[in-house]
Amino acid sequence: MNFYDSIKKQDKEVFDALAGEEVREQEGLELIPSENYVSRAVREAQGSVLTNKYSEGYPGKRYYGGQEFTDAVETLAIERAKKLFGAAFANVQAHSGSNANIATYMALLNPGDTVLGMDLSHGGHLTHGHPVTYITKFFNFVRYKMKDPDTSEIDYEEMLRVAKEHKPKIVLAGFSAYSRELDYQKFVDIARQVGAYSVIDVAHIAGLIAGGAVKNPFDYGFDVMTSTTHKTLRGPRGGLILTRESEDIAKRINKAVFPGLQGGPMMHVIAAKAVAFGEAMHPSFKLYAVQILKNAKAMEEVFRQGGVRMLGGGTSNHLILADVFGSLGIPGKEAEVLLDRVGITLNKNAIADDVRGPMDPSGIRFGTPAATTRGFKEGECKRIAELMLEALKNRTDEQKLSAIREEIRTLCLKFPVPDSFV
Ligand SMILES: *Cc1c(COP(=O)(O)O)cnc(C)c1O
């Protein structure tokens, strides 16, 4: 733990929390599909001296002097992001995925304009117009849904009808809890039919796109892609906005991020983004992305054989939504707590048309990006899924639960989180 030498000497309280988290991450099994482990190189960049620097503006056009190295680092991040996703323009300053979305709305909409996005209960994200977010005070959000949660196919006819009725200025694709691929062409066609921008939020699947394991939405003509950099893309916590070809849109997005929404960019995080993008360009990242999908498939198979209903009938990406209440009679919250006790971290999740409330929904959501980073392959993932089902089916058998906990811990210790991926 020499990464923390100075903190250890100087601030015992913070050091203890960091040391505790190190152990938790090494010994526990992380199945939250939005989490991952970054390389030591990414952490070094994020812990670098660039945190000292104010760099308001963009490379070559800053408000303060002393920018030769910040310009170099931001330009590297931009060029790598463009190459990874086939974009003409990239903004790497958005502090988070939420900011990336808000800045995109600000760039493309006037107050009162309408966005057509995925219903939250069917897999969309808070920033796609959940009433608890302030952004809904400024823009109007209307919804599309899945036609049938057991296939996860979007109801594209209804979507077109709603689009024609409400005349959105953005047709928004993308999700946090959806296990299949969208029909990108249909989204872009509907957007064009009503004269809207097509935007896709790939926060969850950016790494799968960069690694070529799933389709690239830009190949279907989306105008803008927003993302996080810390989920499957395996970089520092941050946001990213890509524009396929329009310089006009890209300029408006840059203005919306700064000075519209944010102040000085987090240049240390941008350096870490550049490092992570460099890793994602390495051939090993393609194997990683493909393995994430294979591992999810291996878990899907065990759940299917165990008679557990999965939304969409399974998965085509990195995550699975399982209706544990409907299939095993165990509410999502109880399943989350139970699995946490055996060393498996995942989250309860509402499923489409949930019969239970949002605070204690019917489902659990889990995925393989972090487990795959550890080096787990299909065999380990199959075993983990078996252990999950065993725990869920024997939730009062303390002896069995402690045996499962021990097996999970042993498995994790056998696969330490790596320092480097290239
Ligand atoms: C995670 C996520 C975000 C938000 O990212 P933050 O960095 O947490 O703000 C936005 N959109 C989708 C689809 C997400 O899954």
Residue showing tokens 């077109």: 160
Q: Among this protein's residues, is 54 annotated catalytic? A: yes
Cβ neighbours of residue 178 under 8 Å, at least 6 residues apart? 118, 122, 123, 152, 311, 312, 321
121 CB near ligand 1 (under 6 Å): no
Fold exhibited by the domain 44-280:
Aspartate Aminotransferase; domain 2 (3.40.640)
CA 324 to CA 242: how far, in whole Å? 37
CB 324 within 8 A of CB 355: no
Annotated binding site: which residue ranges? 120, 124-126, 247
CA 113 to CA 134: how far, in whole Å? 15
Which of 145, 169, 231, 244 is an active site residue?
231
204 CB near ligand 1 (under 6 Å): yes
Cβ neighbours of residue 56 under 8 Å, at least 6 residues apart? 62, 63, 64, 258, 259, 263, 264, 265
Q: Which of 98, 115, 227 to mutate for ligand 1's pocket (most ligand atoms within 8 Å of CB)?
A: 98
CA 268 to CA 6: how far, in whole Å? 19
226 CB near ligand 1 (under 6 Å): no
User: Two tokens at 368?
Assistant: 């393989």
Q: Among this protein's residues, is 62 annotated catalytic? A: no
Q: Residue 90 in 3-state DSSP?
A: strand
34 CB near ligand 1 (under 6 Å): yes
Fold exhibited by the domain 287-414:
Aspartate Aminotransferase, domain 1 (3.90.1150)
Q: Among this protein's residues, is 155 annotated catalytic? A: no
CA 378 to CA 237: how far, in whole Å? 28
Q: Among this protein's residues, is 74 annotated catalytic? A: no
Which residues belong to CATH 3.40.640.10 in the chain?
44-280
Tell me the Cα Rg of the chain: 22
User: Two tokens at 324?
Assistant: 């544990």
CA 20 to CA 192: how far, in whole Å? 51
Q: Among this protein's residues, is 360 annotated catalytic? A: no
Where b means 16+ CB within 10 Å and e means fewer, 256-293 reads bbbeebbeebbbbbbbbbbbbbbbbeeeebeebbbbbb
CA of 102 relative to ligand 1 center, distance in Å: 11
Annotated binding site for (6S)-5,6,7,8-tetrahydrofolate: which residue ranges? 120, 124-126, 247
Query: Which pLDDT score, from 0 to 100, does residue 1 have?
Result: 53
> Cis bond leading into 168, ω under 30°?
no
CB 387 within 8 A of CB 369: no
Residue showing tokens 């002097």: 65
CA 124 to CA 142: how far, in whole Å? 12
Residue showing tokens 């992380």: 30
CA 152 to CA 157: how far, in whole Å? 14
Query: Nearest C-alpha to atom 4 of ligand 1 is from which residue?
Result: 97
Q: At what angle do helices 378-393 and 283-305 cross, to 10 degrees?
A: 30
pLDDT tens for the chain, residues 1 to 422: 578 999 999 999 999 999 999 999 999 999 999 999 999 999 999 999 999 999 999 999 999 999 999 999 999 999 999 999 999 999 999 999 999 999 999 999 999 999 999 988 888 899 999 999 999 999 999 999 999 999 999 999 999 999 999 999 999 999 999 999 999 999 999 999 999 999 999 999 999 999 999 999 999 999 999 999 999 999 999 999 999 999 999 999 999 999 999 999 999 999 999 999 999 999 999 999 999 999 999 999 999 999 999 999 999 999 999 999 999 999 999 999 999 999 999 999 999 999 998 889 999 999 999 999 999 999 999 999 999 999 999 999 999 999 999 999 999 999 999 999 98
Cβ neighbours of residue 217 under 8 Å, at least 6 residues apart? 173, 184, 200, 202, 209, 225
Q: Which of 228, 230, 257 to mutate for ligand 1's pocket (most ligand atoms within 8 Å of CB)?
A: 228
∠ CA 165-169-171 to the nearest 5 degrees?
80
pTM of the model: 0.97
Query: Nearest C-alpha to atom 12 of ligand 1 is from which residue?
Result: 203
* Atom from ligand 1 closest to the CA of residue 101: 10
96 CB near ligand 1 (under 6 Å): yes
Q: Among this protein's residues, is 137 annotated catalytic? A: no
176 CB near ligand 1 (under 6 Å): yes
CA of 101 relative to ligand 1 center, distance in Å: 9
98 CB near ligand 1 (under 6 Å): yes
Instruction: Cite the DSSP H helix spans in 222-331.
Output: 247-255, 267-281, 283-305, 324-328
* Atom from ligand 1 closest to the CA of residue 201: 13
CA 310 to CA 299: how far, in whole Å? 11
| Closest by Cα among 140, 147, 145 to 170 | 140
End-to-end CA distance of the chain: 22
CB 117 within 8 A of CB 141: yes
Query: Which pLDDT score, from 0 to 100, does residue 123 have?
Result: 87
Which residues belong to CATH 3.90.1150.10 in the chain?
287-414
Residue showing tokens 């002393």: 66
318 CB near ligand 1 (under 6 Å): no
User: Two tokens at 227?
Assistant: 């993302």
8-state DSSP, 408: H
Listed in order, strand segments (DSSP E) in 8-64 are 29-30, 57-58, 61-62
Q: At 103, phi and psi to the nearest 5? A: -60, -35
